[in-house]
Structure 1
Amino acid sequence: MPRTNERPVAAPRGHGLRLHSWNPDSAADVEAWLRGHRDPGFRRWNTPLKPVTDLDSARESLRIRARQQEEGVSLSLRITDEETGTTLGHIGLGEISRPLRLAHVGYWVLPEARGRGVATRALLLAAGHALTTLGLHRLELAHALGHDASCRVAERCGFRLEGTLRGAMFEEDDRDTFRDAHLHARLATDGVPAPAA
């Protein structure tokens, strides 16, 4: 399987988007990362293990992700507009298992970029990259129950609903309470979904 630790990593561009590695030394990247994590829409559905609350914690979060990328256990990509280079959000592969050829997918989109199919287009790009260039076999995507928009994105991108995981995610801003999640997955042997309209 090709290594995922070559920096900077750029997945194929397409669907009006381009994916780039986040740069912890870029003030613009750190600011975008912080804005994404402070967004109420993000916070409603995601409670990171380590909170990102200011520029210092955002920079440290990106440094950790860069190290994990160098170790080949994750891949964190900044979603940008292909023409303008404007940052639109994030998509990443986590917990990459080389023996199982498995990874977990997560993504978020900045508020001003929502409603334009960015998450769907980014997931199509990232999944195609993971299942071909990176040689992975299975991608898993979990989202909190009730997050219907994320469910629709997963299904549009060929991630089949496999069931409900009980108590699999933190509740909003609460690391002591858990909520259920839907589990979706896509295999390298599944058909390639049609691009988003």
Structure 2
Amino acid sequence: MNARTSSSPAHTPPRVLPEVRGHGLCLRAWDPESRADVETWLRGLTDPEFRRWNTPLHPIVDADGARESPRRGARRVADGTGAPFRIAGAGTGTAPGHVGVDGIHPVPRRAAVGYWVLPEARGRGVATRALRLVAHRAFTGPGPHRLEPDHAVGHGASCRTAGRCGFRHEGTMRGALFEDGRYDAFRDAHLHARLATDPEPVLRATATP
């Protein structure tokens, strides 16, 4: 059949996350074939402080699981429902954590956002700078109109990060998360949100990773 008269759909290149740079950081896609990325992911999701505030439905306990999780993230990138980024220092390449947009709904242009950093990167503004970068990217162009991070009640560091990035505390969601290490009990969560029409927050100078 002549290509000019074919009714076959045109090939659509797979979605690829671009690098996002700013505030002393570089955000890029996780590479499930990279040993360093797999080790960072495993460290992050097995860290006691992460596990204190998060109870994943499928806990990561070894390198195989740490490799499969970014692969699932890549599939979400491909179908347009997620954008998981590895956080690294712009000059060092060191990977101190993760920030990502997930559950992207084209209607009504709403998505969730989450973040974590390794112990050695905490207290240096890494999560704040990464969240600000990813929010700016998400709100640039035809992306989500509303981004929503949530966290277990009592997680002060996550709450402060959201607030510094312009995500307003909108209320408490009762029984929205699993209790620490349990799947038969629930705890409350704080909901934050920011709209594309909200003013860009002022970011104070912070230490670099």
TM-score range, shorter chain: over 0.9
Matched, 1:107 2:106: no
CA contact (8 A) 1:47 1:170 kept: yes
Deviation beyond 2 Å, 4+ runs, structure 1:
none
Q: Alignment partner of 2:21: what SS?
A: coil
**1:157 is the counterpart of 2:165:** yes
Q: Structure 2: which amino acid aligns with 1:129?
A: R
Q: What stretches of structure 2 of length at least 5 have no aligned partner?
A: 1-11
Report the AA paired with residue 6 of structure 1. Answer: R
Question: How does the TM-score come out when normalised to structure 2?
Answer: 0.89
Which residue in the other structure is 1:98 paired with? 106
Using the TM superposition, name which of 106-115 and 132-141 deviates more. Answer: 132-141
Query: Is residue 128 from structure 1 mapped to residue 133 from structure 2 by the alignment?
Result: no
Q: Does 1:47 align with 2:55?
A: yes
User: In the alignment, what sits opposite 2:3?
Assistant: none
Name the structure 2 match of 1:147: 155
RMSD value, Cα: 1.3
Pairing 1:20–2:32 present: no
Give the aligned partner of residue 174 of structure 2.
166
1:67 is paired with a residue whose SS is helix
Does the CA-based 8 Å contact 1:11-1:126 persist in structure 2? no
Q: Following the alignment from structure 2 to structure 1, what is the Cα–Cα distance between the partners of residues 200 and 111? A: 18
TM-score by length of 1: 0.94
Counterparts of residues 175-190 of structure 1 (less than 5 Å): 175-190=183-198
For the 8 Å contact 1:120–1:196, the answer to whether it is kept is no
Partner-residue secondary structure (3-state), 2:22? coil
Match of 1:62 in 2: 70
Rounded Cα–Cα distance in structure 2 between residues aligned with 1:133 and 1:27:
34
Identity of aligned residues (%): 60
* Kept in 2: contact 1:121–1:196 (CA 8 A): no
Take 2:123 and 2:62, find their aligned partners in 1: how far apart are those partners?
A: 27
Question: What is the CA-CA distance between 1:136 and the residue it aligns to?
Answer: 1.5
Count of residue pairs brought into register by the alignment: 193
Deviation at residue 12 of structure 1 after TM alignment: 2.6
Q: What is the CA distance between 1:134 and its match in structure 2?
A: 5.0
8 A Cα contact 2:20 2:28, kept in partner: no
- Contact in 2 for aligned 1:117/1:196 (Cα 8 Å): no
Equivalent position to 2:15, from 6, 9, 27: 6
Flag the structure with larger Rg.
2
Q: CA-to-partner distance for each residue in 1:1-45, whole Å, 9 max, x for gaps?
A: xx9x622x1353111001000011111111100000110111011
